[in-house]
Amino acid sequence: MSILFSQELLIYTALVLLVPLYCLYSRVICRSGNPALVLPTNWPILHMFPSFLANLHNLHEYLTLVLAGSGHNFRAHGPPGTGLRFFVTCDPTNVRHIFTTNYTNFPKGAEFADIFDIVGGSLFTIDGEPSHQQRAKVKGALSNPRMAATMAACCCDKVENGLLPFFRRMASTGTPFDVQELMSRFMFDLAAMPFFGVDPGLLSSEMLQDMLHMDAAVALDTFMEVGFSLLMTPSSYWKLMRWLNIGPERKLKVARMVLREFAAEMMERRKMNTCFVGNEDEQEDGDILSCFLNDPDYADDDLLRAMIIGYMFAARDTVGTTLTWIFYKLAQNPNIVSNIRKELSPIASRKAAVGVDAMLIFEPKETRSLVYLKAVLYETLRLYPAAPLECKTVVADDIMPSGHEVHAGDTIIISIHSMGRMEGVWGEDCLHYKPDRWLSVGGNNMRYVPSHKFLAFNSGPRMCLGKDIAIMQMKTVIASTLWNFDVEVMDGQTIQPKQACIQQMKNGLIVKLKKREM
């Protein structure tokens, strides 16, 4: 016992003394313009842990640099006793093996579930048969024609009566605003409406004092940001912090309380609404939560709360974040904006806007066949995937298609962010924003790209169930916005991704709008 204690003391002392020096060293090297010098170094005892810590503030770009120089795969280990054994990859053949060919050997794992315990039991954390059953239930709800119509109607209503009126006010006064915060509010409302049958109203100025819903939105961000850092931290460290209620775990404790209160309120409001409606069949088709409330397999309130919060993670963050990056890239590429408007023009010519301030709304049935707009969405997701990393745990020893061995207990990090920036995967122009790469010859159809090469919507048995809904929502927002307004990104901003499970912009995105002259 004393020998083990001495080893741990030695490791912790080395971390305290050497990691700050290495962090300072790497920052200086980065500013000197020679990033090759901060590639992972396999130090005695500490292995690559200092390198990871030193670059945690810019991990996505760091992993891209390392993966590009190491053939799309590399290993990283922490000090003995920390349990940090990583295999990092962005190799499409490995991804296919992990997500499809041998996916049962690569679950998210118990540690991932412990970190994101607030959504424990939901699709966010579970694997195997429980995941299969829950996915079938959710898929059935989402594929219901009445549900699909409800979600499309909610999106159009929120764009027409919430988003575009706000844009018109901002354009008329020339007032800059943070489009990322706005998209977060918009998607919070849009996610809640078809799931709970309740509109939180975060997009409405009169609802700005609704602190429960605002706090819930902040708590979602906290979990995505803090959870990301914990994935790279020895479990013994963050479990000790949780026990002592200090550091990031203190923030997570507050976030858990807020999110549980929000989920409980949504369940209560939904149950009360059900009591006042006589036709139960209409209720089951009216929102997603109803089909779970009426199912005895989901009678556990803790499980329902976890599912509610997990749904809000998926529905709010992924689409809202992607919309922000789309606005940013389109503001830099006016030629692409012109191409989108050209594709929208035949639809617009069949619609009539009534009144001086009237604006055109492009409905899902009208934008469904728009190929170029879809290519713009995919190109944005290629370079700025909403979820930049996927983490898996190895159950049994295996050999990757790349020839690398992985061992039981290893953590596999799939860098989706890096995959979109690999010349060996996407060609010499991989860093260029080119929607045309997604189009077939002639530009009339989308080119086939396998999901293990483009992981924005996951792959294999865990393919995103809300993919079509997300595309519908993004098409409606982008088409309706670009046809009615010009978007200008304000100068002087530092645009960089937040280091979190969801790749939001660290400092938001301040834009200004101008109403288009038709």
For residue 476, give both structure tokens: 């409606």
Amino acid at position 267, single letter: M
For residue 295, give both structure tokens: 């199912």
Same domain assignment for residues 189 and 310: yes
Same domain assignment for residues 159 and 187: yes
CATH number, position 316: 1.10.630.10
Same domain assignment for residues 60 and 135: no
Report, as an integer, the average pLDDT of 288-292: 76
Report, as an integer, the average pLDDT of 487-497: 93
The answer to whether residues 327 and 179 touch, using CB atoms and an 8 Å cutoff, is: yes
User: What are the tens digits of pLDDT across the range 147-164?
Assistant: 888 889 999 999 999 999
Question: Which of 93-107, 169-183, 311-325 bottoms out in mean pLDDT, i.e. has the lowest?
Answer: 311-325
Binding-site residues for heme, in ranges, read 464
Same domain assignment for residues 463 and 349: yes
SS3 74: strand
Residue 54 pLDDT exceeds 60: yes
CB atoms within 10 A of CB 444: 9
- The confidence score (pLDDT) of residue 5 equals 38
- The confidence score (pLDDT) of residue 213 equals 59
Three-class SS string for 325-363?
A: HHHHHHHHCHHHHHHHHHHHHHHHHCCCCCCCCCCCCCC
Comparing CA positions, the residue from 332, 464, 477 lying closest to residue 386 is: 464
DSSP characters for 392-405?
A: EE-SS-EE-TTS-E
Same domain assignment for residues 38 and 179: no
CA distances from 375 to 336, 382, 396, 446, 448 (A): 11, 10, 39, 7, 11
- Give the pLDDT band of residue 44 (cuts 50, 70, 90): low
The long-range contacts involving 61-64, CB below 8 angstroms and separated by at least 24 positions, are 62/38, 63/88, 63/90, 63/413, 63/415, 63/417, 63/418, 64/415, 64/417, 64/418, 64/421, 64/422
Report for 133-137, 280-284, 362-366: range of highest mean pLDDT: 362-366
Total number of domains in the chain: 2
Binding-site residues, in ranges, read 464
Same domain assignment for residues 204 and 148: yes
- The confidence score (pLDDT) of residue 79 equals 72
Range of the domain at 168: 102-385+420-515
Same domain assignment for residues 163 and 94: no
**DSSP designation for 501:** S
With a CB cutoff of 8 Å and minimum separation 6, the contacts of 99 are 106, 451, 452, 455, 458, 459, 460, 461, 462
Same domain assignment for residues 178 and 41: no
Same domain assignment for residues 108 and 231: yes
The answer to whether residues 337 and 482 touch, using CB atoms and an 8 Å cutoff, is: yes
The answer to whether residues 503 and 387 touch, using CB atoms and an 8 Å cutoff, is: yes
Q: Which residue has the higher pLDDT, 83 or 453?
A: 453
Same domain assignment for residues 188 and 212: yes
Same domain assignment for residues 279 and 194: yes
Same domain assignment for residues 357 and 398: no
Residue 96 pLDDT exceeds 60: yes
